[in-house]
Amino acid sequence: MTHRRTFIRQSSLIAGGLWLSPALLQAQQSIAPSDQIRVALIGANNMGFGILRHHLALPEVSCVAICDVDQNVLDKRLKEVEDATGKRPERYTDFRKLLERKDLDAVIIGTPDHWHCLITLAACEAGKDVYVEKPMANTIGECELMVKAESRYQRIIQVGQQQRAGQAFIESRDLVKSGYLGKIRKINIWSNFNYGLGNEFKPATPVPDGVDYDFWLGPAPKRDFNPNRFHGSWRHFWDYGGGLMSDWGVHLLDMAIWVEENPAAPSTVMTYAKNVNKENRDRDTFDTMNVLFPKKDFLINYDMNGGLQSGPYNKPYGIAYVGELGTLVVNRGGYEIYPEWDGTANAPKCEVKKLEGTKESHNLHVANFVECIKTRNQPNCPPEAGRLAALHAHIPNIAARIGAESLTWDDEKRQFIGNGAANAMIWPEYREPWKLPKV
């Protein structure tokens, strides 16, 4: 398996954000057809299209198709790809038709969370590799199905937890696991973002022209159209997402799990959750949560505040690995170590280390996925890693929804201990005619 740092070196040569450079287009033309990787995008509005752009910044990748149930978004993205590459992808409004293509190697899934499992399994069954956005799925049970699908169909599945490809997080993990900070006592995580409040209430409106809203809902319950439950803000409703907890929490909690000696599902999870700001806000999910995960190696403490933008160390979000010799604080912009003071030696217990100016790592994560399509090696974030991260987000959300201060999860049996209400939320109920996939 190629080391992650190899991808960082390789990808430093890639214009990951350029759309697109003449040199890159010339390089793409020199790739033999047998060496090309043909991808399609399913769900093209926001993050999905951003991930496609990173794919197209790799010379061996071409986009042969785009699928979306909103024809306005679809037409816009088709034109943007054609303008950038000189080739117009084929147009689809039904992902099932797209997956019938024989000239397709992989799909990018950028849909709302409630579609992730169903489309991933259909793509694996059709022999396609998959890049699926995080969280891996909208329920615990669907995550389990996706792990099984990887094994059964022998596909490459990369979950979009791109921090695993980021220099700041890789170096932080190496420092923690090397013992540089001494024994880790706990990991403090915080995420404070205004959008966690959800939108102000809006009246229901007719379905916009060009939108197949029934298909957009898919397996989710039938509801009247409301713009608050559609593009961008759908994540604040349990039917489609898990709020700030599963949107940002899954990223940051993944970085805590990543430094465990043997990454594992949470066992006992203690949760406080509340909607503190109730003024004219349309949402199911919570704006304020504190969660404790007592793990074998250390305690994880997660603090979430929708509607706030400041946090510890003057950072709106971050992770603090608290060790006996010092604390390492990291986010996507870099890291810094704050040493503990040794009064006897009159010196810091470890040396200060600092990394500044690092950037988003979506392009590196995508490069890793494409490399794994070619080598069939395990990607940065395979389904089991995505499942573990999702569990750490879904269990607190389930606890908050049923009013439980504490839940105990038995990962071997894949169920909660002694709580029928929580167990009833492990699996979703799909709306007809959609059916929960089987593996």
Is-contact 130 369, C-beta < 8 A? no
Among candidates 299, 333, 291, 295, which has minimal Cα distance to 313? 333
Among candidates 234, 199, 284, which has minimal Cα distance to 113? 234
Query: How many Cα atoms occupy the beta-carbon half-sphere of 5 within 13 Å?
Result: 5
Among candidates 53, 251, 265, 39, which has minimal Cα distance to 130? 39
How far apart, in whole angstroms, are the C-alpha atoms of residue 389 and residue 137?
11
Query: What does pTM read for this prediction?
Result: 0.93
How far apart, in whole angstroms, are the C-alpha atoms of residue 88 and residue 65?
8
Report domain 4-164+366-382's class.
Answer: alpha beta
Predicted local confidence at residue 33, as pLDDT: 75
How far apart, in whole angstroms, are the C-alpha atoms of residue 380 and residue 375?
13
Is-contact 144 430, C-beta < 8 A? no
Torsion-angle region of residue 66: left (phi > 0), alpha (psi -120 to 50) or beta?
beta
How far apart, in whole angstroms, are the C-alpha atoms of residue 71 and residue 92?
9
How far apart, in whole angstroms, are the C-alpha atoms of residue 111 and residue 130?
13
CATH topology of domain 168-359+388-418: Dihydrodipicolinate Reductase; domain 2 (3.30.360)
Predicted local confidence at residue 363, as pLDDT: 97
Domain boundaries, the chain: 4-164+366-382, 168-359+388-418
| Opening angle at CA 418, ends 415 and 421, nearest 5 | 75
What tokens were used for 412?
């071997």
Predicted local confidence at residue 135, as pLDDT: 97
């009246």: which residue's tokens?
A: 203
| pLDDT beneath 50: ranges in the chain | 1-18
Is-contact 399 405, C-beta < 8 A? yes
Q: Determine how many CB atoms are found less than 10 A away from the CB of residue 122.
A: 19
User: Which residues are CB-neighbours of 88 under 8 A, at least 6 positions away?
Assistant: 78, 81, 82
Hey, is 421 helix, strand or coil? helix
Predicted local confidence at residue 280, as pLDDT: 85
Hey, is 129 helix, strand or coil? strand
How far apart, in whole angstroms, are the C-alpha atoms of residue 359 and residue 339?
25
Q: Is the C-alpha dihedral spanning 326, 164, 54, 370 positive or negative? A: positive
Predicted local confidence at residue 27, as pLDDT: 67
